[in-house]
Chains A and B, each alone.
Chain A
Amino acid sequence: MAVVETRKLTKVFKRGHLGAVNNVDLESREGEFLVLLGPSGSGKTTLLRMIAGLEEPTSGDILIGGKVVNDLTPRERRIAMVFQSYALYPHLSVYNNIVFPLKAQGVDKEGQRKQAEWATSLLGIQHLFERKPRELSGGERQRVALARAIVREPSVFLLDEPLSNLDAKLRASAREELEQFQKRLGTTTIYVTHDQVEAMAMGDRVVVMSQGVVRQIGTPTEVYDEPADTFVATFLGSPPMNIIPAEGVIAGFRPEHFLPPGVAERMGAHVSYDFHITHSEYLGAERILYGAIQGGPFDQHRVISRIPATHDADLADGSVHTFAVADRDLKFFDPQTEKRTTVRRLPS
């Protein structure tokens, strides 16, 4: 077990261009499940590859277990990585895939067998030993890749979008399984994903990245409820947070906090707006209402509301209702830096 730390870590691929990763300071905690979340091109995979030793940093330091590992090869870092493609060795059987890291380490045959059996029993794939990777399903491949990663009990796990190759149904169960699995092993894990659901569900903490820069590090609750800037606010959550430029400030509130008449009255101090619903989506458990504010200082500003499908008010397309947001659910951002600022009143 070890802690991974980066100090002012930067990677510039083309000289003179913006770095893929810029001055990233990160510190994982012992046994933590840390998720790097960001859209494609945000530098999260590059950051992971630098930690793995597959990419050389332009500047800055990487520390594993308190030791600078910049100049160590991947094998010397004692890390394990699961690739997005799983990168199984196609010409080797599942068993030989799994014991490959042990062979490289010089573990004897007896030890290889024992470790392979331990790793595969955790994942329930002993029956696949003799198969070749091409004879496996997506889910089985993912487990073999995981088994190969844990077999030599690495100090750190690095996972690069390991669920993105699975179909949607399998992904949900694999996600939960992977999370349980990590808790049981207690190995420090860094997990890269662009899927906010994965990040929120699995991460002990989430690192939100954009354009090579860390925007916020925090627990799923913190990054969702207290976003550090407008990027985090709009990247997390689906549909995204409503962002409204007011005088000298940007106000934001989540669609699920923009509530219809009857609910608003019960939530104490609040601001209300006339909401003209243009169209809506029925998603089974909830309804998404699209529309614009009518009248007042934010006339014609587009906003989204998300309400439980059990709410039975008559909210037909084209109708206008008075929706409200509780004061405590309003977030404010500086219009220049787009960072969070102190709470203010909002004109209604």
Chain B
Amino acid sequence: MIRRQRWLGPVMFMPAILYIAALVGLPFVMAFFYSVGDVKVGSVGYHFVGLRNFISVLHNPTFQIAVRNSFIFTITSQILVLVGSTTLALALKEAFPGRRFLRFIILLPWVAPVSIGSIGWKWILDSLYSVISWVLVRMHLVKAFDTPVWLGEPKLAMMSVILVHTWHMLPFATVILLAGLTAIPKDIPEAASVDGAGFFRTLFQITIPMMLPIINVAVLFGMIFTFTDMTVIYILTRGGPYDTTQVIPSLAFFTGILGSDLAEGAAISIFLVPLLVVVAYMVLRSAHRAEVT
């Protein structure tokens, strides 16, 4: 019995370890390996080239735009997600007829494959057939021949990409915050109301501070998902127009896979690592420090 238990544990662990090693660990090591070599799609040899790829990437103006965009994309969408999900979580906590249905509807963007959702948005934001433009024309806010080209103008394209990504991330954060919110005993807000606190005082001095640990978790996940994501950008704008919506992951993909320069693509994606380590460390630390009831 005891002898059997000695190997049973490791065996049960094996699938998980293999999975992580093969699909996360190996590609990660290979990315490091490629980034200091001269590998291209179809090339056979490997030559160590030191930091040449990194230097070339740092001098690339498109990379500089992508870094800036990555921050704008992540920070703006996370602020929107945070405000939106807090509001939604507070609203969905209350009992009202149709709450279950509404919860389901709000979860949909997260459950539906992001590519399908993004393709839907591509039509919504189309230069000719956009329903948003149609509505604006009918409301006489814009002229029919002068509708905004949502995905074709740099500023509008960035806004569109951020909004679609926010739409996609919102349900996840809402569900996490809703869980945090329902964990607050109902006595606490009741005590606050008896103590004379109004809605906003209760919200900002009691509810949100008590939710802070869970908000941190939601932000941590949100930032990591956003920093590393390129689906929405790939489908909506392909980084365009003129690379103005390019972010680090999409640039790495276009350079390394579509542009065949595996080495430089790997070098670009390696730049994500220190960023993500810092983000993860900061948020984990603050989550650890925050009061947990």
Contacts and interface: CB of A to CB of B under 8 A. Distances in A.
Range of interface residues on B (Cβ < 8 Å): 20 to 34
A74 B193 contact: yes
B95 to A, nearest CB: 13
A54 interface: yes
B190 interface: yes
A101 B195 contact: yes
Interface in B194-246: 194-198, 201, 205-206, 209-210, 212
Nearest to B291: A91
B192 A100 contact: yes
Interface in A77-126: 79-81, 83-85, 87, 89-91, 100-101, 103-105
A84 B186 CA distance: 12
Interface in A41-74: 52-54, 73-74
Contacts of B188: 87, 89-90
Contacts of B5: none
A292 B291 CA distance: 60
Contacts of A90: 188, 210, 291, 293
A132 interface: yes
A54 B190 contact: yes
Contacts of A148: 195
B51 interface: no
A122 to B, nearest CB: 18
Contact of B197 (A75, A80, A84, A152): A75
A55 B110 CA distance: 37
Contacts of B209: 91
A85 B185 contact: yes
Interface string B174-200: 000000000001011011111111100
A155 B201 CA distance: 23
B197 A104 contact: yes
Nearest to A49: B190
A83 B195 contact: no
B196 A81 contact: no
A164 to B, nearest CB: 14
A104 B190 contact: no
A91 B185 contact: no
Interface in A7-59: 52-54
A87 B210 contact: no
A83 B197 contact: no
Contacts of A74: 190, 193-194, 196
Contact of B193 (A54, A85, A132): A54
A46 to B, nearest CB: 13
Interface residues of A, number: 25
Interface in A316-338: none
A54 B194 contact: yes
Interface of B is mostly: helix
A83 B187 contact: yes
A339 to B, nearest CB: 37
Contacts of A132: 291
Given A81-B191, A87-B188, A105 B206 contact: no
Contacts of A104: 195-198, 201
Interface in B118-140: none
Q: Which of B194, B205, B210, B291 has the most C-beta atoms of chain A within 10 angstroms of its own C-beta?
A: B194
A180 to B, nearest CB: 24
A87 B291 contact: no
B194 A80 contact: yes
Given A87-B185, A103-B201, 14 more contacts: A52-B194, A53-B194, A54-B193, A74-B193, A74-B194, A75-B197, A80-B194, A81-B194, A83-B190, A89-B210, A90-B188, A91-B212, A100-B205, A104-B201
Nearest to B211: A91
A100 B196 CA distance: 9
Contacts of B194: 52-54, 74-75, 79-81
Nearest to A105: B196
A75 B191 contact: no
Contacts of A85: 185, 187
Given A85-B185, A91-B210, A75 B190 contact: no
Contacts of B196: 74-75, 101, 104-105, 152
22 contacts: A52-B194, A53-B194, A74-B190, A74-B193, A74-B194, A75-B195, A79-B194, A80-B194, A81-B191, A81-B194, A83-B187, A85-B185, A89-B191, A90-B291, A90-B293, A91-B209, A91-B291, A91-B293, A100-B192, A101-B196, A104-B197, A134-B293
A79 B210 CA distance: 25
Interface string A174-189: 0000000000000000
B190 to A, nearest CB: 5
Contacts of B206: 89
Contacts of B212: 91
A90 B183 CA distance: 13
A322 to B, nearest CB: 55
Nearest to B201: A104
A75 B202 CA distance: 12
Which 9 A-B pairs rank lowest in CB-CB distance, beginning with the nearest? Answer: A87-B191, A87-B187, A104-B196, A75-B196, A101-B195, A90-B293, A104-B197, A91-B291, A74-B194
B34 to A, nearest CB: 47
